[in-house]
Amino acid sequence: MSDQKMSKRLFGTNGIRGIVGTEMTPDLALRIGAALATMRRGSIAVGRDTRTSGEGLAHAVKAGILMCGCDVIDLGILPIPALQYIQRGRCDAGAMVTASHNPPQYNGIKIIDSDGTEMGDAEIIRLESILFDGGFSAASWDQVGTERSGAHLLDRYIEGVVSRFPAGIGDGMNVVVDPGSGPAALTTPRILSQLGCRVYTVNAQLDGRFPGRLPEPSPEGLKALSEMVVSTGSAFGVAHDGDADRAVFIDDQGRYVEENHEFALIADHICSQEKGIIVTPVSTSRLIEDVAEKYGCSVDYTPVGSIYVARRMKELIAAGERVVFGGEGNGGLIYPGFQFCRDGGMTAAMMVALLAARRADLSSMLDDLPAYCLIKEKISAENRHELIERCADLFSSEVTDLSDGVRISRGRTWALIRASGTEPLVRLMVESDDIKAAEAFCREIMDAIAPLLG
Ligand code: MG
């Protein structure tokens, strides 16, 4: 069984996030730092994205850590996968001040464990209880921590990614990078350039007001990137979210690449070289099963959330299984040979490797993928957990996964019914290669649950 989700009071699936000044305050940041240093001895890496509130909140986190007796390595502004890479084996934990793809008025904190993965639910619940109970282990004057700068360590991440690929693999390839004024401005252009690409950039100035586009790399926000890909005759454009654990693409014709298509193409490239298991949440498109079947690989499903994917990959490997790839259908992809976290810089580099290997345009590869259509519904339900259990009974002969809600498969059509973690509603997704089959299955499920809705 994969890690099951556990209830947390403050932290969500991707750390804690809130509006600066009301929900995300220096006091909270300080207490998170203090709680983390109470749980871990030794040194803690601290990094941040480019948000205007990042510097102040990072100072607060560091104050909490230092006064509870741990040392701080301040990595400054950097992508979260870079912090995870640098920290692993060097520090006892990490804290990243970021709100990922949220708008500029938000900020938050993600906690990284000593192995470079996001801290698991059980440990986060322990951290929350220290934070709420105030059980901090304040250090005496001669035991408080010290801080040193680790800004120079960023080069190791860039070298780490580049060293995974043959020299000059991107020679002759034009590419455009849109870091969205976030920390990937410091890494992805250098990575792609060191692979041999000619790199153009847009929104590559560090700016927490996000003047060019919001941190979420949406199709509407990437118009400038799309235009530049076409005008420079580039092979692709790549954009990152606010902490650069995700990468999304624009193809050579200037079209936004749906993230499940990105996942499938990169999975196809990896599985063509190495057979094994692909790990992904239950909400991912069936396209990934098509790719796996083509190469005799298999798909292992987890609850929704990258931490469950990363931990499941490690668990399978520890059990002697061969895991070749993992990730989510939102451009957050995990390369087990490199590290067990979503990595936007590595994904940008992998796209160069994929195009170099195939010697075909990204647009034509995308056009060759099987077409699926997706229907999404939100249903208000006070008794959402009971409703999920009833669905599992009603469709028991077709249920293929129960790790997060109910996944039901019927030939090339599948559905997922999940309860919201925070609101009284359930989410229904139905995907099929035949729109009529998807609509009919969606209606059948809606009819089946209608009597259960109050
Ligand atoms: Mg992110």
Q: Which CATH class is domain 259-367?
A: alpha beta
If you measure from the C-alpha of residue 391 to the centroid of ligand 1, how many angstroms do you get, rounded to a whole number?
32
Is the predicted pLDDT of residue 2 greater than 60, yes or no?
no
**Span from the CA of 240 to the centroid of ligand 1 (angstroms):** 8
User: Considering the chain, what is the average pLDDT of its residues?
Assistant: 95
The 10s digit of each residue's pLDDT in 110-120 is: 999 999 999 99
Q: What is the pLDDT of residue 454?
A: 65
Question: Model confidence over 344-375: pLDDT tens digits?
Answer: 999 999 999 999 999 899 999 999 999 999 99
Q: Return d(Cα 412, Cα 286) in angstroms, integer.
A: 8
On the question of a common fold for 259-367 and 373-452, the answer reads no
Q: Ligand 1: distance of its center to the CA of 241 in Å?
A: 6
| 275, burial (CB in 10 Å: exposed 0-12, middle 13-18, buried 19+) | middle
Cβ(84)–Cβ(341) below 8 Å: yes
Q: What is the Rg, in whole angstroms, of the alpha carbon atoms belonging to the chain?
A: 22
Q: For residue 244, how far is its CA from the centre of ligand 1 (angstroms)?
A: 6
Do residues 157 and 345 lie in contact, with contact meaning Cβ atoms separated by under 8 Å? Answer: yes
Question: In the CATH hierarchy, which fold is given to the domain comprising 2-152?
Answer: Alpha-D-Glucose-1,6-Bisphosphate; Chain A, domain 3 (3.40.120)
Q: Structural domain boundaries of the chain?
A: 2-152, 156-255, 259-367, 373-452
Mean pLDDT within 428-453: 93
C-alpha of residue 128 to centroid of ligand 1, in Å: 22
Banded model confidence at residue 54, pLDDT cuts 50, 70, 90? very high
- Output the CA 242–ligand 1 centroid distance in Å: 6
Residue 5 is classified by DSSP as: P
Catalytic residue list contains 100: yes
CA separation for the pair 140, 109 (Å, rounded): 26
Q: How many whole angstroms from 188 Cα to the centroid of ligand 1?
A: 15
What is the spatial distance between Cα 354 and Cα 101, in angstroms, rounded to a whole number?
Answer: 26
Higher pLDDT, 93 or 451: 93
- Ligand 1 centre from 358 Cα, in Å? 29
CA 143/CA 68 separation, integer angstroms: 8
**Structural fold of domain 156-255:** Alpha-D-Glucose-1,6-Bisphosphate; Chain A, domain 3 (3.40.120)
- How far away, in angstroms, is 15 Cα from ligand 1 center? 11
pLDDT beyond 50 at 1: no
Model's pTM, two decimal places?
Answer: 0.95
The catalytically annotated residue of 53, 100, 226, 283 is: 100
12 pLDDT more than 90: no
Q: Which residue, 188, 241, 183, is CA-closest to 215?
A: 241
Per-residue pLDDT averaged across 58-84, rounded?
A: 98
Residue with tokens 């190495």: 274
Does pLDDT of 75 surpass 50?
A: yes
Domain 373-452 sits in CATH at 3.30.310.50
CA of 172 to the centre of ligand 1 (A): 30
**What is the pLDDT averaged over residues 65-75?**
98
Contact residues for 31 (Cβ-Cβ < 8 A; gap 6+) = 64, 131, 136
Q: How far is the CA of 332 from the centre of ligand 1 (A)?
A: 8
Distance CA 27, CA 389 (A): 41
Cα 184 to middle of ligand 1, angstroms: 11
Digit-coded pLDDT (tens) for 279-332? 999 999 999 999 999 999 999 999 999 999 999 999 999 999 999 999 999 999
